[in-house]
Structure 1
Amino acid sequence: MNVSDLPADEFAPQRVRALFLSDIHLGTRGCQADALLDFLRHYESDYLYLIGDIIDFWSMSRSIHWTPAQNTVVQKVLRRARKGTQVVFVPGNHDEALREYAGTVFGDIAVHLDHIHVAADGKRYWLVHGDDFDQVTRHHRWVALLGDVAYNALVRINAWMSRVRRRLGIAGYWSLAGYAKRKVKSAVSFIYDFEDSVMHEARSRGVDGVICGHIHAVAQRTIDGVVYMNCGDWVDSCTAIVEHADGRFAIIDWGQFLRTPGARMTLPVAEEVMSH
């Protein structure tokens, strides 16, 4: 089900203060551009933060898969920037080529290596993609590249399995990549190590919280007074972080909404999902 399938009188965009997106991976088969367009049609904001791996130059160096929907995503972001939304792009490792342009503005989009977002309640959040805290990416690039190929293979297999499940009449969405993350102990350990490293740096910077991406694992939790938030991704889970007008943050699990059979014909409200 897509937003475009809903009756016009049941669809009204929600206004939030800020949207935080990461790991969209434009240029790949795994990119869920249609779902992202649905999400962007539903949520408008004063700030839009793109926190890395928006364009996947790594995968595009092997093969390019650029759909009309992916092109529309780019056009929609540029249009928002032109119309006054403050758009900030923090490149990740997959679009690291853009890091050399940090401090410049392209099409009203500001590029920064990292950024501080001041929430409505005055709290300061450090925005960073997070690959600097991934020891594999930093010190064993070839392993990271191999892992990227393996992950893309899982995504393709998952798409095939989803089609088979639908033909067999099996309801619900099942993520092979997500299952692997939950069950493989090394993957779980990697996530915890990553979070610990990011949080250590956030504390040293004296901020109230950190919002990152990179590991495709959406999260929102407070650890020893510092808030950790991860945007997730738009390849497997289709998740985002939003900030409300009063400074509260929430996870939006858009993928779960779109993939749940018999989902309500009213769209998800951020407060109903998770708030800080």
Structure 2
Amino acid sequence: MGHERQLVKDMMEPRHFRTLFISDVHLGSKAAKADFLLDFLRYHEADTIVLVGDIVDGWRLKRSWYWPQVCNDVVQKLLRKARKGTRVVYIPGNHDEFLRDFPGMHFGGIEVVERMMHDGADGKKYLILHGDEFDVVVRNARLLAYLGDWAYDTAIRINILLAAVRRRLGMPYWSFSAWAKLQVKHAVNFIGEFERVVAEEARKSGADGVICGHIHHAVIQDKDGIRYINTGDWVESCTAVAEHQDGTFELITWRTLASTVPALTAVEREEAELAPQAA
């Protein structure tokens, strides 16, 4: 009880960051924790918000329409932040790949890009992408390693081309990550190989780090000299990554709704209001 009340105190004033990175919300899926994300957005502000793919689950919506009011609330919250001056950038993933047909477009103040290079406050450059384009590389890692860089680059281009063709034909995207997760004994190897391949892409792009999503495995770590950051998801882990003004990154987990936490007493509320002044 005391911990939860302290959490309410901490949330009375929104935290403000330089950048927030959010991915894999899967709005339109019954598994999406849209209410938790909405609550998170109420208490977290940023100069820039980067949506790192799979915000909307187009696959699920094609099969069966599911769009409760809370999904609208999340979208409206992001649009409202954009109207108030927050830069909001949307990098589509494989589940919302229909937006990949509109690079450079703005929708309600939200900018759509395929990938981007982020200049961190720490002076380092971070490649930002969803990560699904590397599924085919991870699946055929040993063969591609044997054939060399030419095969690697060719595989990436073919995967992007095939994804575009399948999209135009109305065919679903085939995800190796989804297949791997069904085979527990391969899952750990898949995650490690995915991290290695994505970090290598950042190195080839001249970046110091990479920020991605896709595999629903939140982490901030160094990978062979490259800072690897995965934002996680809002299906199970409810995580986001925040960049502070000094350039440090924080992995935030948001699993408590403010509405479910007991209200503060009058004394606790007064203490919480005075705390910033005392600091």
Task: Please give the range of the TM-score, normalised by the shorter of the 2 chains.
Answer: 0.7 to 0.9
**What corresponds to 1:123 in structure 2?**
124
**What corresponds to 2:250 in structure 1?**
250
CA contact (8 A) 2:94 2:173 kept: no
**What corresponds to 2:83 in structure 1?**
82
**What corresponds to 2:271 in structure 1?**
none
- Spell out the pairing of 1:38-187 with structure 2 (5 A cutoff): 38-135=39-136, 138=159, 144=174, 184-187=184-187
- Give the Cα–Cα distance (whole angstroms) in 2 for the partners of residues 184 and 223 of structure 1: 23
Amino acid in the other structure paired with 1:87: V
**What corresponds to 1:32 in structure 2?**
33
Amino acid in the other structure paired with 1:185: K
- Give the Cα–Cα distance (whole angstroms) in 2 for the partners of residues 207 and 145 of structure 1: 26
Cα offsets for 1:170-203 (capped at 9, x unmatched): xxxxxxxxxx78x922111111111111011111
- Give the Cα–Cα distance (whole angstroms) in 2 for the partners of residues 228 and 146 of structure 1: 20
TM-score normalised to the size of structure 2?
Answer: 0.74
Aligned length: 231
Q: Which runs of no fewer than 5 residues in structure 1 stay unpaired? A: 152-179, 267-276
Deviation (angstroms), 1:10: 5.7
Deviation (angstroms), 1:134: 1.0
Cα offsets for 1:83-126 (capped at 9, x unmatched): 11010000000011110100111111110000111111221111
Question: Secondary structure of 2:197's partner?
Answer: helix
Cα offsets for 1:11-59 (capped at 9, x unmatched): 2111111100000001110110110011111110000000000111111
**What corresponds to 2:231 in structure 1?**
231
Residues 9 and 45 (structure 1), Cα distance of their counterparts in 2 relative to 1, 3 Å cut:
closer
- Give the Cα–Cα distance (whole angstroms) in 1 for the partners of residues 31 and 69 of structure 2: 14
**What corresponds to 1:15 in structure 2?**
16
Deviation (angstroms), 1:7: 5.9
- Give the Cα–Cα distance (whole angstroms) in 1 for the partners of residues 187 and 11 of structure 2: 41
Amino acid in the other structure paired with 1:48: I
Amino acid in the other structure paired with 2:130: H
Same amino acid, percent of matched pairs: 48
Deviation (angstroms), 1:9: 9.0
Question: Secondary structure of 2:188's partner?
Answer: helix
Deviation (angstroms), 1:146: 9.9
Residues 120 and 184 (structure 1), Cα distance of their counterparts in 2 relative to 1, 3 Å cut:
same
Amino acid in the other structure paired with 1:83: K
Cα offsets for 1:193-218 (capped at 9, x unmatched): 11111011111111010000000000
- Give the Cα–Cα distance (whole angstroms) in 2 for the partners of residues 223 and 35 of structure 1: 30
TM-score normalised to the size of structure 1?
Answer: 0.75
CA root-mean-square deviation? 3.4
Question: Secondary structure of 1:134's partner?
Answer: helix
Question: Secondary structure of 2:63's partner?
Answer: coil
Residues 68 and 120 (structure 1), Cα distance of their counterparts in 2 relative to 1, 3 Å cut:
same
Runs of 4+ in structure 1 off by over 3 angstroms are: 6-10, 136-148
**What corresponds to 1:196 in structure 2?**
196
